[in-house]
Amino acid sequence: MIRKMSKSKIMIFILILFIITIPATINMPDQTQQYSVVLGVGIDKQDDEYEVSTQILTSKASQGFLESLQVHSAKGKNILDAVERVSLHIGRISGFGNTSVIVISETVTDENIANLLDFFLRSKRLNGNPIIMVTQGKAKDILSDVAKIDESFNYSLNTLAQQNQNFAPGATCTLEQFLNDYYGKKSASMLGIINQTTDSSSGIEIPTDSGSSSSSGANMASGDSSGGGEGGETKVLSNVGNAAIFANGKQIAVFDEKTIEGINILVGSSKNVYTIENVNDNIYHNATVVLSVRNKVRTDQVTFKNGKPRICYNINYTLKVEQILQNGNDRIILDGSNDYLTDELVDRFKMEVSRKVANSLIKTKEVNADVYGAQMKFFRFKNKQWNEYLSKLENKDDAYKNIEFFLNIRVKGNL
């Protein structure tokens, strides 16, 4: 066998190639020595300079998680300049392949943030589709807080963004979704707001520097460590359900939790539990009834009537009575029969949903924020009539304000 191999030119060539390349491959440096694993990015601005902060994972066998999750930041005249300075500071190229969140400070949102985010989309180092969120404080501090909270790598800003303090779905927007809305010029975007507060009931407590979590988990390029308690004061990473509304790349409004809930009924994931108080009929007497949504199916219809565009949302709910509180007592429900879902209860539920949707529509029309993508629906499905409608408007920016919305709710019980 060896004699045959020695006479084969191909085998000799392969053997020589192995002898040359294997030592070089073995001695190649680890990828983590050339690239930093960036889990989160923060963007702040002060005195016409951008400050980019990167939450970096630097795992080593001898370190605990908090010691390997660090935040480094640097300033620059633009995003590229700041990112390159961060890379220079830590001695590794910033690798955004694992980035799951980008936090933007309100000091930046008065300008077109699409131009800033476009850098990350075009970066060859970005492989995923991170969630974008806004903070009224410093983005760098938010990343530092997470570094102190997350001891097991099971917690992330994404977790807090997706559900607010009442465990209701909030406003989440990805990088791709935001830029699609922006370049489509037809829709507004909702970005969840994360803040640092002292209200312990509104979020997750941030360990103090003197506690079990060391501030070494949030090292800054400047050597500072932010977050944590001062003088024993509790600090909390908070999501109360508010959202920043963006149009044409700039923040135009902030909506509260109730408004976001109404919007999500039509375009997103709405909450699954409704509490109806003071129900009176042949079964209930001044009772508080808790309903759970077992299924929800929504369809949209876009039409024109008398030259005006209108959208009809049809929502089919399947509900189940989960709890009945009457005269201070909790009535036990032995079955899930449809008898508990009385006409009075259904009417009250419909009224509650309709009120939330109507309030949200009023708020969005006040600031001309088409978060529903209504204009895009007409553009796609009623293109000719939509263009005729636009041609008759004195100001095309009023197109969304003049759309008529209708809501049709159907309810059945869960047997």
Q: Distance between CA atoms of 47 and 52, rounded to whole angstroms?
A: 14
Dihedral Cα 381, 385, 386, 391, nearest 10 deg: 160
Write out pLDDT tens, residues 211-259: 433 323 333 444 333 333 444 577 888 888 899 999 999 999 999 999 9
pLDDT above 90 covers a percentage of the chain that reads 40
3-state secondary structure of 238: strand
State yes or no: pLDDT of 332 exceeds 90.
no
Q: What number is the average pLDDT over the span 117-133? A: 78
- Angle (CA) 43-260-237 rounded to 5° is 45
pLDDT of residue 66: 47
Cα–Cα distance for residue pair 65/63, rounded to 1 Å = 7
Q: What are phi and psi of 116, to 5 degrees?
A: -75, -45
Question: Tokens in use for 185?
Answer: 């010029």
Question: Does pLDDT of 411 surpass 90?
Answer: yes
Report the C-alpha gap between 277 and 319 in whole angstroms.
Answer: 16
Instruction: Tell me what pLDDT residue 381 has.
Output: 93
Which domains are assigned to the chain? 32-246 (no CATH), 257-413 (3.30.300.210)
pLDDT at 150: 60
pLDDT at 20 over 80: no
Smallest CA-to-CA distance from 52 within 26, 75, 22 is with 75
What pLDDT was estimated at residue 112?
A: 93
Q: Is the pLDDT reported for residue 201 higher than 90?
A: no
Using pLDDT thresholds of 50, 70 and 90, give the confidence band for residue 114: very high
Residues of the chain with pLDDT > 70: what percent?
Answer: 75
Residue 7: pLDDT band (50, 70, 90) is: low
**Chain segment 25-66, per-residue pLDDT in tens:** 444 444 445 667 888 899 999 888 999 999 887 655 555 544
pLDDT, tens digit (0-9, with 9 covering 90-100), for 265-316: 998 777 788 999 999 988 888 889 999 999 999 999 999 999 899 999 999 9
What is the pLDDT at residue 413?
A: 85
Cα distances from 199 to residues 55, 143, 162, 165, 194, in angstroms, run 25, 19, 19, 11, 13
pTM: 0.80
pLDDT of 90: 81
Are the beta carbons of 243 and 254 closer than 8 angstroms? yes
The alpha carbon dihedral of 157, 163, 166, 170 has a sign of positive
pLDDT tens track for 386-396: 999 999 999 98
Work out the mean pLDDT of the chain and round it to a whole number.
80
Instruction: Dump pLDDT digits (tens) for 333-353.
Output: 655 555 688 999 999 999 999
Q: Give yes or no for residue 130 having a pLDDT over 80.
A: yes
Could you report the per-residue pLDDT of 152-185, keeping only the tens digit for each? Answer: 444 567 677 766 666 566 788 889 889 888 887 6
Lowest pLDDT segment from 120-134, 144-158, 288-302, 398-412: 144-158
pLDDT at 334: 54
More confident call, 208 vs 138:
138
